[in-house]
């Protein structure tokens, strides 16, 4: 029964080979037109998205097109060990979990969702069947931080700034300097083609995103695909019968001039949807999106739980919420 559930789950969530082939073909066509980076905005812990991503990475077309996968959900401090794990060396999953557990946003537990561990396992398994020159390389895009030397709030201070600039520098080094082609996976907010705005204490600030930095310094090099939670609620006739996980180009006449703030969070000023993304995924109504939350069993590991509490006291001056494990 367990194996049967694993088999039918993608269909229950609306993800089939049609959607993965559609994504693979779109990425291929964009790279044929000279794009160097396919940037896909991830809604954290979104199960359907990760099923689609895994199925797409298994396609021969994507394996031929993509050299590097750069992900937000990994600490670049452990890049050497991550390379060895992804290449199939004898490194246990228990050892490699520090890549996503020990990031600069810890003790935020977002990366404890099973989708992230499954992602790394999937790439390792795919690589086993590929020739050395065909293997994916996964690059951790998160800031390099060694939590063993972070003892005080002052020690953590340098890591409080936005991670967008750091990930942009990694893309610059790994893609443009080395002349590679990459798939970039990061939170959708980071991958807007324009800078974003936010309010704090009555003042409005502008924040450069990975996307806006790429557009500024390497214009036309990147194709941006994102997900917007309010898209299904806008009552657009042309979108109602779309399949879950399907792609829509924002150049479509009926989509391109929609105010970005109506489809997403209010951070884009007067920008239109076509200004912030080149294509969007359709996931249906927000209330039907399926998330894979961290399992309580993760926090039964007393050593990990005590370390999360230590980090929480440093960053928040309080301990973790006990309901996470009970």
**Euclidean distance between CA atoms 312 and 106, whole angstroms:** 8
The domain locations on the chain are 2-294
Task: From residue 291, give the alpha-carbon distance in Å to each of 50, 114, 117, 191, 228.
Answer: 10, 10, 15, 21, 15
**Residue 115, CA atoms < 13 Å, CB-side half-sphere:** 23
Tokens for 308, please give them.
Answer: 């999360």
Q: What is the pTM of this model?
A: 0.93
Tokens for 203, please give them.
Answer: 């003042």
Question: With b meaning 16 or more CB within 10 Å and e meaning fewer, what string describes 67-81?
Answer: bbbbbbbbbbbbbeb
Q: What pLDDT does residue 241 have?
A: 83
* Residue of 271, 311, 220 lying closest to 30 (CA atoms): 220
Q: What pLDDT does residue 201 have?
A: 59
Q: What pLDDT does residue 264 have?
A: 87
**Euclidean distance between CA atoms 117 and 291, whole angstroms:** 15
Tens-binned pLDDT, residue by residue, of the chain (326 aa): 334 334 434 544 667 889 999 999 999 999 999 999 999 999 999 999 999 999 999 999 999 999 999 999 999 999 999 999 999 999 999 999 999 999 999 999 999 999 999 999 999 999 999 999 899 999 999 999 999 999 999 999 999 987 899 999 999 999 999 999 999 999 998 999 998 865 555 555 568 999 999 999 999 999 999 999 899 889 898 988 889 899 999 999 999 999 999 998 888 888 999 999 999 999 999 888 999 999 999 999 999 999 999 999 999 999 999 999 98
Q: What pLDDT does residue 65 have?
A: 97
Q: What pLDDT does residue 235 have?
A: 87
- Going by their DSSP bridges, the two strands 246-249 and 203-207 should be labelled as unpaired
Q: How many CB atoms lie within 10 A of CB 33?
A: 9
Q: What pLDDT does residue 154 have?
A: 97
């Amino acid at each position: 029964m367990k194996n049967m559930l694993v088999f039918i789950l993608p269909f229950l969530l609306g993800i089939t080979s049609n959607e993965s082939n559609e994504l693979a073909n779109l990425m291929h066509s964009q790279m044929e037109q000279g794009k160097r980076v396919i940037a896909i905005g991830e809604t954290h812990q979104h199960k359907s998205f990760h099923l689609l991503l895994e199925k797409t990475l298994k396609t021969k077309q994507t394996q031929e097109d993509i050299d590097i996968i750069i992900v937000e959900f990994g600490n670049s401090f452990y890049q050497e060990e991550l390379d060895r794990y992804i290449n199939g060396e004898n490194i246990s999953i228990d050892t490699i979990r520090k890549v996503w557990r020990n990031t600069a946003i810890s003790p935020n537990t977002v990366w404890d969702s099973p989708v992230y561990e499954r992602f790394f396992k999937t790439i390792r398994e795919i690589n086993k069947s590929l020739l050395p020159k065909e293997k994916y390389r996964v690059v951790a895009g998160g800031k390099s931080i060694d939590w063993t030397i972070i003892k005080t709030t002052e020690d953590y201070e340098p890591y409080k700034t936005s991670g967008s600039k750091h990930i942009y520098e990694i893309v610059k080094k790994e893609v443009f300097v080395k002349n590679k082609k990459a798939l970039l996976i990061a939170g959708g907010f980071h991958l807007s083609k324009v800078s974003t705005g936010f309010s704090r204490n009555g003042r409005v600030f502008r924040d450069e995103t990975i996307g806006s930095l790429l557009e500024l310094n390497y214009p036309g090099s990147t194709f941006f695909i994102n997900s917007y939670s309010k898209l299904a609620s806008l009552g657009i006739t042309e979108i109602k019968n779309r399949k879950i996980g399907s792609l829509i180009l924002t150049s479509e006449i009926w989509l391109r001039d929609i105010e970005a703030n109506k489809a997403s969070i209010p951070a884009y000023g007067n920008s239109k949807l076509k200004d912030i993304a080149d294509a969007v995924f359709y996931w249906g109504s927000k209330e039907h999106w399926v998330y894979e939350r961290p399992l309580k069993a993760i926090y039964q590991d007393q050593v990990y739980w005590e370390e999360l509490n230590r980090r929480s006291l440093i960053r928040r001056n309080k301990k973790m919420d006990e309901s996470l494990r009970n």
